[in-house]
Structure 1
Protein backbone atom coordinates (compact mmCIF):
# COMPACT_ATOMS: atom_id res chain seq x y z
CA UNK A 1 0.00 0.00 0.00
CA UNK A 2 1.50 3.32 -1.10
CA UNK A 3 0.76 6.63 0.63
CA UNK A 4 0.58 9.88 -1.33
CA UNK A 5 0.81 13.29 0.32
CA UNK A 6 -0.73 16.45 -1.15
CA UNK A 7 0.30 19.42 1.03
CA UNK A 8 -0.99 22.95 0.55
CA UNK A 9 -0.35 25.97 2.74
CA UNK A 10 -2.18 29.21 3.48
CA UNK A 11 -0.86 32.07 5.67
CA UNK A 12 -2.78 33.18 8.74
CA UNK A 13 -1.79 36.79 9.37
CA UNK A 14 -2.21 38.58 12.63
CA UNK A 15 -0.48 41.77 13.57
CA UNK A 16 2.24 41.91 14.87
CA UNK A 17 3.21 38.31 14.00
CA UNK A 18 2.27 35.85 11.30
CA UNK A 19 1.16 32.24 11.40
CA UNK A 20 0.73 29.88 8.51
CA UNK A 21 -1.84 27.17 7.95
CA UNK A 22 -1.14 24.06 5.92
CA UNK A 23 -3.09 20.98 4.98
CA UNK A 24 -1.90 17.49 4.25
CA UNK A 25 -3.76 14.39 3.12
CA UNK A 26 -2.56 10.82 2.87
CA UNK A 27 -4.20 8.31 0.58
CA UNK A 28 -4.07 4.57 0.13
CA UNK A 29 -4.76 2.24 -2.79
CA UNK A 30 -7.98 1.01 -1.12
CA UNK A 31 -11.22 3.05 -1.13
CA UNK A 32 -11.39 6.75 -2.01
CA UNK A 33 -8.34 8.86 -1.25
CA UNK A 34 -8.83 11.63 1.33
CA UNK A 35 -9.42 15.00 -0.27
CA UNK A 36 -9.98 18.54 1.02
CA UNK A 37 -13.32 19.63 -0.52
CA UNK A 38 -13.35 23.13 1.03
CA UNK A 39 -10.03 24.76 1.84
CA UNK A 40 -9.16 27.78 3.93
CA UNK A 41 -9.20 31.26 2.36
CA UNK A 42 -5.80 32.59 1.22
CA UNK A 43 -5.38 34.79 4.33
CA UNK A 44 -7.09 35.34 7.64
CA UNK A 45 -6.60 38.52 9.68
CA UNK A 46 -7.32 38.74 13.38
CA UNK A 47 -6.90 41.05 16.34
CA UNK A 48 -5.35 40.18 19.68
CA UNK A 49 -7.79 38.25 21.91
CA UNK A 50 -10.19 37.67 19.02
CA UNK A 51 -11.77 34.26 18.41
CA UNK A 52 -10.53 32.39 15.33
CA UNK A 53 -12.39 29.54 13.70
CA UNK A 54 -10.88 27.46 10.90
CA UNK A 55 -13.00 24.97 8.99
CA UNK A 56 -12.17 22.32 6.42
CA UNK A 57 -14.54 20.00 4.59
CA UNK A 58 -13.08 16.72 3.41
CA UNK A 59 -14.05 13.47 1.72
CA UNK A 60 -12.71 9.92 1.58
CA UNK A 61 -13.74 6.30 1.97
CA UNK A 62 -13.41 4.98 4.59
CA UNK A 63 -14.05 8.22 6.49
CA UNK A 64 -10.64 9.79 7.11
CA UNK A 65 -9.25 10.45 10.57
CA UNK A 66 -8.53 14.14 11.19
CA UNK A 67 -5.73 15.66 13.25
CA UNK A 68 -4.69 19.28 13.86
CA UNK A 69 -1.10 20.21 14.68
CA UNK A 70 0.56 23.41 15.81
CA UNK A 71 4.31 23.64 15.29
CA UNK A 72 4.52 19.88 14.66
CA UNK A 73 2.65 18.90 17.84
CA UNK A 74 -0.98 17.90 18.28
CA UNK A 75 -3.02 20.94 19.31
CA UNK A 76 -3.51 21.37 23.04
CA UNK A 77 -7.14 20.52 23.76
CA UNK A 78 -6.90 22.62 26.94
CA UNK A 79 -6.33 25.70 24.74
CA UNK A 80 -8.23 24.91 21.53
CA UNK A 81 -11.56 23.33 20.67
CA UNK A 82 -11.91 20.82 17.83
CA UNK A 83 -15.38 20.03 16.52
CA UNK A 84 -15.84 17.15 14.09
CA UNK A 85 -19.19 16.82 12.32
CA UNK A 86 -19.19 13.97 9.81
CA UNK A 87 -16.95 15.38 7.04
CA UNK A 88 -16.27 18.82 8.55
CA UNK A 89 -13.51 19.63 11.01
CA UNK A 90 -13.48 22.96 12.86
CA UNK A 91 -10.62 24.28 14.98
CA UNK A 92 -11.71 27.05 17.37
CA UNK A 93 -9.08 29.24 18.98
CA UNK A 94 -10.92 31.32 21.59
CA UNK A 95 -9.40 34.56 22.80
CA UNK A 96 -6.32 33.85 20.71
CA UNK A 97 -3.24 35.69 21.94
CA UNK A 98 -0.66 36.68 19.36
CA UNK A 99 2.94 35.78 20.14
CA UNK A 100 6.09 37.38 18.76
CA UNK A 101 7.12 34.21 16.96
CA UNK A 102 5.59 32.70 13.87
CA UNK A 103 4.10 29.22 14.01
CA UNK A 104 2.35 26.77 11.72
CA UNK A 105 -1.08 25.19 12.01
CA UNK A 106 -1.69 22.01 10.03
CA UNK A 107 -4.72 19.83 9.46
CA UNK A 108 -4.09 16.29 8.28
CA UNK A 109 -6.52 13.66 7.04
CA UNK A 110 -5.74 10.00 6.40
CA UNK A 111 -7.68 6.80 5.84
Structure 2
Protein backbone atom coordinates (compact mmCIF):
# COMPACT_ATOMS: atom_id res chain seq x y z
CA UNK A 1 0.00 0.00 0.00
CA UNK A 2 1.34 3.42 -0.95
CA UNK A 3 2.07 5.81 1.92
CA UNK A 4 0.18 9.09 1.73
CA UNK A 5 2.18 12.35 1.86
CA UNK A 6 1.98 14.05 5.23
CA UNK A 7 2.71 17.62 4.13
CA UNK A 8 -0.09 20.06 5.00
CA UNK A 9 -0.44 23.80 4.58
CA UNK A 10 -2.20 26.13 6.96
CA UNK A 11 -5.13 27.94 5.39
CA UNK A 12 -7.34 30.22 7.52
CA UNK A 13 -10.29 29.66 5.16
CA UNK A 14 -10.49 25.90 5.80
CA UNK A 15 -11.83 24.40 9.04
CA UNK A 16 -8.93 23.40 11.28
CA UNK A 17 -6.65 25.18 8.77
CA UNK A 18 -5.49 22.00 7.06
CA UNK A 19 -5.70 20.77 3.47
CA UNK A 20 -4.06 17.47 2.51
CA UNK A 21 -1.15 17.38 0.08
CA UNK A 22 -0.34 21.06 0.58
CA UNK A 23 -3.33 22.29 -1.42
CA UNK A 24 -4.99 25.59 -0.67
CA UNK A 25 -8.61 25.87 -1.76
CA UNK A 26 -9.46 28.87 -3.91
CA UNK A 27 -11.79 31.23 -1.99
CA UNK A 28 -14.10 31.60 -5.01
CA UNK A 29 -14.32 27.82 -5.39
CA UNK A 30 -15.17 27.60 -1.71
CA UNK A 31 -17.92 30.21 -2.17
CA UNK A 32 -19.40 28.32 -5.13
CA UNK A 33 -19.29 25.09 -3.15
CA UNK A 34 -21.01 26.76 -0.18
CA UNK A 35 -23.73 28.21 -2.44
CA UNK A 36 -24.32 24.83 -4.11
CA UNK A 37 -24.56 23.23 -0.65
CA UNK A 38 -27.11 25.89 0.41
CA UNK A 39 -29.15 25.26 -2.76
CA UNK A 40 -29.13 21.51 -2.14
CA UNK A 41 -30.31 22.04 1.46
CA UNK A 42 -33.07 24.43 0.35
CA UNK A 43 -34.30 22.09 -2.41
CA UNK A 44 -34.15 19.11 -0.03
CA UNK A 45 -36.37 20.95 2.44
CA UNK A 46 -38.95 21.50 -0.29
CA UNK A 47 -38.87 17.83 -1.28
CA UNK A 48 -39.27 16.75 2.35
CA UNK A 49 -42.35 18.97 2.70
CA UNK A 50 -43.86 17.79 -0.60
CA UNK A 51 -43.24 14.13 0.22
CA UNK A 52 -44.68 14.55 3.69
CA UNK A 53 -47.88 16.01 2.25
CA UNK A 54 -48.14 13.16 -0.23
CA UNK A 55 -47.59 10.53 2.47
CA UNK A 56 -50.15 12.13 4.80
CA UNK A 57 -52.79 11.55 2.12
CA UNK A 58 -52.30 7.81 2.52
CA UNK A 59 -53.20 5.13 0.01
CA UNK A 60 -51.21 3.38 -2.68
CA UNK A 61 -49.60 6.60 -3.92
CA UNK A 62 -48.23 7.34 -0.45
CA UNK A 63 -46.91 3.81 -0.08
CA UNK A 64 -45.23 4.01 -3.49
CA UNK A 65 -43.65 7.34 -2.51
CA UNK A 66 -42.27 5.89 0.73
CA UNK A 67 -40.73 2.91 -1.06
CA UNK A 68 -39.32 5.18 -3.75
CA UNK A 69 -37.82 7.52 -1.15
CA UNK A 70 -35.97 4.77 0.70
CA UNK A 71 -34.71 3.04 -2.46
CA UNK A 72 -33.46 6.35 -3.93
CA UNK A 73 -31.57 7.15 -0.73
CA UNK A 74 -29.83 3.77 -0.70
CA UNK A 75 -29.03 3.89 -4.41
CA UNK A 76 -27.60 7.41 -4.30
CA UNK A 77 -25.60 6.87 -1.10
CA UNK A 78 -24.13 3.64 -2.50
CA UNK A 79 -23.10 5.32 -5.75
CA UNK A 80 -21.51 8.26 -3.91
CA UNK A 81 -19.49 5.96 -1.63
CA UNK A 82 -18.42 3.73 -4.53
CA UNK A 83 -17.29 6.74 -6.60
CA UNK A 84 -15.39 8.23 -3.67
CA UNK A 85 -13.67 4.99 -2.71
CA UNK A 86 -12.73 4.09 -6.29
CA UNK A 87 -11.29 7.51 -7.08
CA UNK A 88 -13.95 8.32 -9.69
CA UNK A 89 -15.27 11.09 -7.47
CA UNK A 90 -12.04 13.07 -7.64
CA UNK A 91 -8.76 13.33 -5.82
CA UNK A 92 -9.28 16.50 -3.80
CA UNK A 93 -11.71 17.09 -0.96
CA UNK A 94 -13.43 19.75 -3.08
CA UNK A 95 -13.88 17.37 -6.03
CA UNK A 96 -15.25 14.63 -3.77
CA UNK A 97 -17.72 17.03 -2.17
CA UNK A 98 -18.78 18.50 -5.52
CA UNK A 99 -19.28 15.04 -7.04
CA UNK A 100 -21.42 13.88 -4.13
CA UNK A 101 -23.47 17.07 -4.11
CA UNK A 102 -24.10 16.89 -7.86
CA UNK A 103 -25.38 13.34 -7.56
CA UNK A 104 -27.75 14.32 -4.74
CA UNK A 105 -28.79 17.59 -6.44
CA UNK A 106 -29.82 15.67 -9.57
CA UNK A 107 -32.09 13.39 -7.53
CA UNK A 108 -33.49 16.20 -5.40
CA UNK A 109 -34.25 18.41 -8.43
CA UNK A 110 -36.01 15.62 -10.29
CA UNK A 111 -38.08 14.78 -7.19
CA UNK A 112 -39.04 18.43 -6.72
CA UNK A 113 -40.16 18.71 -10.37
CA UNK A 114 -42.11 15.45 -10.14
CA UNK A 115 -43.82 16.33 -6.86
CA UNK A 116 -44.86 19.84 -7.94
CA UNK A 117 -46.66 18.72 -11.10
Higher relative contact order (CA 8 A, sep 6+): 1
TM-score calculated relative to the size of structure 2? 0.24
Q: As a proportion of its length, which structure holds more helix?
A: 2
Larger radius of gyration: 2
TM-score calculated relative to the size of structure 1? 0.25
